[in-house]
Amino acid sequence: MSHTAEWKVRLHLFEDDGRTTKAQVVLDTGTNAITAHGSAHSHPADTNVPEIGDELAAGRAMVDLAHQLLETAERDIQGMAAPRLITHQTTG
């Protein structure tokens, strides 16, 4: 049996204070949504290159998303390994 899924990812970038770029990435699996964040700060003496801030903030948000996905998978795996208790109901 094969499994196919399509997950949607939305990435939002915005500048906060002229020197800070923030990123928010949202993964929508159809049944769950995971939101992750990243940011990039430039030094006042640095040349202002918005693309670099975008790349850093987006990359950091995606790393955050990856960590969250791995943690979720680990919890799910642990949940599958838990022994299942069978309870019997007696009538009397």
Number of domains in the chain: 1
Q: What are the C-alpha distances in Å from 4 to residues 10, 18, 42, 70, 71?
A: 20, 42, 41, 19, 22
Could you tell me if residue 79 is inside a domain? Answer: no
**Reported confidence tier of residue 88, pLDDT bands at 50, 70, 90:** low
Q: What is the pTM assigned to this prediction? A: 0.81
Residue 3: is its pLDDT beyond 70?
yes
CATH number at residue 50: 3.30.160.240
